[in-house]
Amino acid sequence: MELRVEVLRLSPGEDLRSALQAWSQAAATAPMPVQAACVLSAVGSLTRASLRYANAPTGTAIDGPLELLTISGTLGVGGVHLHASVADADGKVLGGHLMPGCNVRTTAEIVLGLLPGHVFDRAPDPMTGFLELLAHRRPL
């Protein structure tokens, strides 16, 4: 099965993570279900962001305006795992795990790669203590 592409444009006030989670849940139950996807490109602007830095227990709020430089990650039936980088008005770049609270300022343009031959799920990993990716090929 071929890679398919979906383009999302989020509007002012929308939450990035919530919008991507909602898209993933809806796609998994659509007539032509998508159970695995990845972020190919993401740009836009944010009024604020919330990123969880490495080994931090919670997210850190970052007030904007901010430029959304990237989002990278996977979306699947077991949930989403997303990282983002943002730049402030001085060009300082911060990055980390994308948390709820990243609100679109003017727009967010997100290009998703849909992987119809795969299923992305998540399960607890005893070594890491986190829900980790389980990637499976779907039978054709």
Q: Is the Cβ–Cβ distance between 99 and 52 less than 8 Å?
A: yes
> For 110-140, what is each residue's pLDDT tens digit?
999 999 889 999 999 999 888 999 999 987 6
The CATH class that applies to domain 4-137 reads alpha beta
Nearest CA to 109 among 8, 6, 14? 8
Domain residue ranges of the chain, discontinuous segments joined by + = 4-137
> For 56-114, what is each residue's pLDDT tens digit?
999 999 999 999 999 999 999 989 999 999 999 999 999 999 999 999 999 999 999 99
Nearest CA to 76 among 15, 22, 34? 34
pLDDT at 1: 63
Average pLDDT over residues 41-66: 96
Record the pTM: 0.91
